[in-house]
Chains A and B, each alone.
Chain A
């Protein structure tokens, strides 16, 4: 077997952020590395929604990465505005929403409220994946406290809501009266809407406005 000099190839040590940056500059090897790291997770996302239909999960995962590469290679993904994982996740969700539409099953609620997200994300058009990734990234950053826009209690409330807590469950978890918990939840929602608005997303639709809020 021929033996060539050692190669300078992206290795497992590269972070997703570095790989995303290189991929956004057209580095196909970097994108392959992102694929290698996230393909299993994307497949699991689809499997979770599909049950045991592994072939379909594989097919949707493949479509998601194809769409991701299309978005990256056409310059529509900005790694400074959303993490690679959020971007791939957002594209995968778009593919899933598209699949539901094709199957005519959007009205069926399976797991998280896909239809509500479709409305929030401005539909299931895959080419809107990067915008949706930015929207999700703002929410993720807010929940993690990266922007310090929300208090720790507000972040906790929003996480509880995301996990499906009712007002009563929320009140129990926070040790508050249900009416107080509800008021705090509404206040946290309003603050999150303002955060989204300040970063260029219309709070009524979730689509990005023409003016850049950054």
Chain B
């Protein structure tokens, strides 16, 4: 091992130190997505290419405060080119098992510190098993899903909200909006149904919401 190799080794040892230090430091970014979901996002990107071909104007962005005012966008008559584009996009999705299929839910984990402050919000898409609905998830299963992303900051209470809804995209924007809807201080305490009803108030009528809370302090 010559001096250059040794210097490289030292450089990487220092980088490994910094990597460990960063991993143990409280997160400064409130929302981030897990690597697993990139395939889903790639599928969404594929759809994003196909959808503008079908709809002349962009659909209104989802805003929980004015769900009732969102109007359906009229579809125009599809041409052969449009149909081919859809077929290609669907074919691509179906040929890749890592991409998104139906029966999808989103799980949002809201971690609070000992002063009740929101430390982190994580979200992930969760593919429900065939024949299983979101409401079939047990509290334990829901908490397990919420715990898969950790918040290294001071952790006192974990709130996990599961959402299934066909009308809106289950994405980070929705996660942030729902976190704001349910995370309004301590008034709900540990009552999961209170959080669930707050989340439902921010969602379209067909949405399903489940929630679970867990005290993390020991």
Contacts and interface: CB of A to CB of B under 8 A. Distances in A.
B9 A1 contact: no
Interface in A1-32: 1-4, 6-7, 9-13, 16, 32
Contact of A4 (B41, B139, B218): B139
B207 to A, nearest CB: 14
A38 to B, nearest CB: 5
B12 A136 contact: yes
Of A12, A32, A90, A192, the most chain B CB neighbours within 10 A belong to A12
Contacts of A10: 147
A172 interface: no
A140 B143 contact: no
Nearest to B154: A12
What is the interface of chain A mostly: helix, strand, loop, or mixed?
helix
B148 A11 contact: no
B9 to A, nearest CB: 5
23 contacts: A1-B211, A2-B138, A10-B147, A11-B155, A16-B24, A37-B23, A37-B24, A45-B15, A55-B38, A55-B42, A58-B38, A85-B19, A85-B23, A112-B8, A120-B8, A136-B9, A139-B9, A139-B10, A143-B13, A144-B17, A158-B10, A196-B1, A203-B1
Contact of A36 (B15, B22, B142, B148): B148
Interface in A155-206: 158-159, 161-164, 189, 192-193, 196, 202-206
B5 interface: yes
Interface in B116-175: 135, 137-140, 142-144, 147-152, 155
A1 B10 contact: no
Nearest to B210: A1
B10 A119 contact: no
B89 to A, nearest CB: 18
Given A12-B152, A193-B1, A162 B7 contact: yes
A62 B48 CA distance: 24
Contact of A120 (B1, B155, B211, B216): B1
A11 B8 contact: no
Contacts of A35: 148
A86 B192 CA distance: 39
A135 interface: yes
Interface string A109-143: 00011101101110000000000000110011001
